Amino acid sequence: MTDTNAATPNAKVPRIFEHMTAQGPVESLRRTSGVYEFDIQDGGQWFLKLDHGNPTLEPKAEHPDCTIAVSASDFVDIAEGKRNIVTTFLQGRLSYTGDLAFALTFRRLLPVAA
Protein backbone atom coordinates (compact mmCIF):
# COMPACT_ATOMS: atom_id res chain seq x y z
CA MET A 1 0.00 0.00 0.00
CA THR A 2 1.32 3.44 -0.90
CA ASP A 3 1.56 6.04 1.86
CA THR A 4 -0.17 9.21 0.69
CA ASN A 5 1.14 11.38 3.54
CA ALA A 6 2.01 14.79 2.05
CA ALA A 7 5.54 14.51 3.50
CA THR A 8 6.42 11.32 1.60
CA PRO A 9 8.39 11.56 -1.64
CA ASN A 10 5.80 9.66 -3.70
CA ALA A 11 3.12 12.15 -2.57
CA LYS A 12 5.32 15.08 -3.60
CA VAL A 13 5.87 13.84 -7.17
CA PRO A 14 2.49 15.01 -8.57
CA ARG A 15 2.87 18.42 -6.89
CA ILE A 16 6.33 18.84 -8.41
CA PHE A 17 4.98 18.25 -11.91
CA GLU A 18 2.03 20.58 -11.22
CA HIS A 19 4.39 23.36 -10.08
CA MET A 20 6.70 22.75 -13.03
CA THR A 21 3.89 23.16 -15.56
CA ALA A 22 2.28 26.06 -13.68
CA GLN A 23 5.42 28.18 -14.05
CA GLY A 24 4.69 28.55 -17.76
CA PRO A 25 7.30 29.08 -20.47
CA VAL A 26 10.95 29.10 -19.41
CA GLU A 27 12.69 31.85 -21.36
CA SER A 28 16.07 30.09 -21.45
CA LEU A 29 14.39 27.05 -23.08
CA ARG A 30 12.42 28.92 -25.75
CA ARG A 31 14.31 27.04 -28.49
CA THR A 32 13.87 23.66 -26.83
CA SER A 33 11.13 21.15 -27.63
CA GLY A 34 10.77 17.46 -26.85
CA VAL A 35 9.19 14.94 -24.51
CA TYR A 36 10.50 13.42 -21.29
CA GLU A 37 9.26 10.15 -19.90
CA PHE A 38 9.84 9.82 -16.16
CA ASP A 39 9.60 6.34 -14.68
CA ILE A 40 9.58 7.09 -10.97
CA GLN A 41 9.75 4.14 -8.61
CA ASP A 42 6.71 4.41 -6.30
CA GLY A 43 5.85 7.70 -7.99
CA GLY A 44 4.33 6.64 -11.30
CA GLN A 45 5.04 7.29 -14.95
CA TRP A 46 4.97 10.90 -16.15
CA PHE A 47 5.27 12.49 -19.58
CA LEU A 48 6.50 16.08 -19.63
CA LYS A 49 6.42 17.88 -22.96
CA LEU A 50 8.52 20.97 -23.64
CA ASP A 51 7.17 23.02 -26.51
CA HIS A 52 9.53 25.92 -27.11
CA GLY A 53 10.22 26.04 -23.38
CA ASN A 54 6.61 25.67 -22.26
CA PRO A 55 6.25 22.56 -20.02
CA THR A 56 2.98 20.61 -20.11
CA LEU A 57 1.97 17.17 -18.90
CA GLU A 58 0.84 14.65 -21.47
CA PRO A 59 -1.17 11.47 -20.77
CA LYS A 60 1.16 9.36 -22.96
CA ALA A 61 4.07 9.70 -25.37
CA GLU A 62 4.78 7.22 -28.15
CA HIS A 63 8.41 8.20 -28.70
CA PRO A 64 9.86 10.28 -25.87
CA ASP A 65 13.17 12.01 -26.59
CA CYS A 66 14.49 10.94 -23.21
CA THR A 67 13.42 8.45 -20.55
CA ILE A 68 14.60 8.96 -16.98
CA ALA A 69 14.23 6.26 -14.33
CA VAL A 70 14.75 7.24 -10.70
CA SER A 71 13.34 6.62 -7.21
CA ALA A 72 10.70 9.00 -5.88
CA SER A 73 12.98 10.23 -3.10
CA ASP A 74 15.86 10.98 -5.48
CA PHE A 75 13.50 12.69 -7.94
CA VAL A 76 12.11 14.92 -5.20
CA ASP A 77 15.63 15.79 -4.02
CA ILE A 78 16.67 16.65 -7.59
CA ALA A 79 13.55 18.73 -8.20
CA GLU A 80 13.95 20.62 -4.92
CA GLY A 81 17.63 21.36 -5.62
CA LYS A 82 18.94 19.12 -2.84
CA ARG A 83 20.61 16.65 -5.21
CA ASN A 84 22.44 17.14 -8.50
CA ILE A 85 21.05 15.18 -11.46
CA VAL A 86 24.52 14.43 -12.88
CA THR A 87 25.88 13.25 -9.53
CA THR A 88 22.79 11.08 -9.05
CA PHE A 89 23.40 9.49 -12.46
CA LEU A 90 27.11 8.92 -11.73
CA GLN A 91 26.17 7.24 -8.44
CA GLY A 92 23.92 4.82 -10.34
CA ARG A 93 20.80 6.17 -8.67
CA LEU A 94 19.31 7.49 -11.93
CA SER A 95 19.35 6.04 -15.42
CA TYR A 96 18.35 7.51 -18.74
CA THR A 97 17.95 6.49 -22.34
CA GLY A 98 17.73 8.76 -25.33
CA ASP A 99 19.06 12.25 -25.88
CA LEU A 100 21.63 13.16 -23.20
CA ALA A 101 21.60 16.88 -24.00
CA PHE A 102 17.81 16.92 -23.63
CA ALA A 103 18.06 14.97 -20.36
CA LEU A 104 20.41 17.58 -18.97
CA THR A 105 18.09 20.37 -20.11
CA PHE A 106 15.71 19.21 -17.38
CA ARG A 107 17.97 21.03 -14.89
CA ARG A 108 16.75 24.38 -16.24
CA LEU A 109 13.24 23.61 -14.98
CA LEU A 110 14.54 23.27 -11.43
CA PRO A 111 14.36 23.79 -8.51
CA VAL A 112 10.67 23.34 -7.87
CA ALA A 113 9.19 23.75 -4.39
CA ALA A 114 6.63 21.09 -3.59
What domains can be seen in the chain, in order of their start residue?
9-109 (3.30.1050.10)
Residues 38 and 75 sit within 8 Å (Cβ to Cβ): yes
pLDDT at res. 14: 96
Give Cβ neighbours of residue 16 (< 8 Å, ≥ 6 apart): 75, 76, 79, 80, 112, 114
pLDDT at res. 2: 45
- Euclidean distance between CA atoms 15 and 11, whole angstroms: 8
pLDDT at res. 5: 54
Amino acid at 60: K
* pLDDT, one tens digit for every residue, the chain (114 residues): 444 455 788 899 999 999 999 999 999 999 999 999 999 999 999 999 999 999 999 999 999 999 999 999 999 999 999 999 999 999 999 999 999 999 999 999 999 876
pLDDT at res. 1: 40
Strands 34-41 and 66-71: parallel
Residues 29 and 105 sit within 8 Å (Cβ to Cβ): yes
pLDDT at res. 3: 45
Q: What is the model's pTM?
A: 0.89
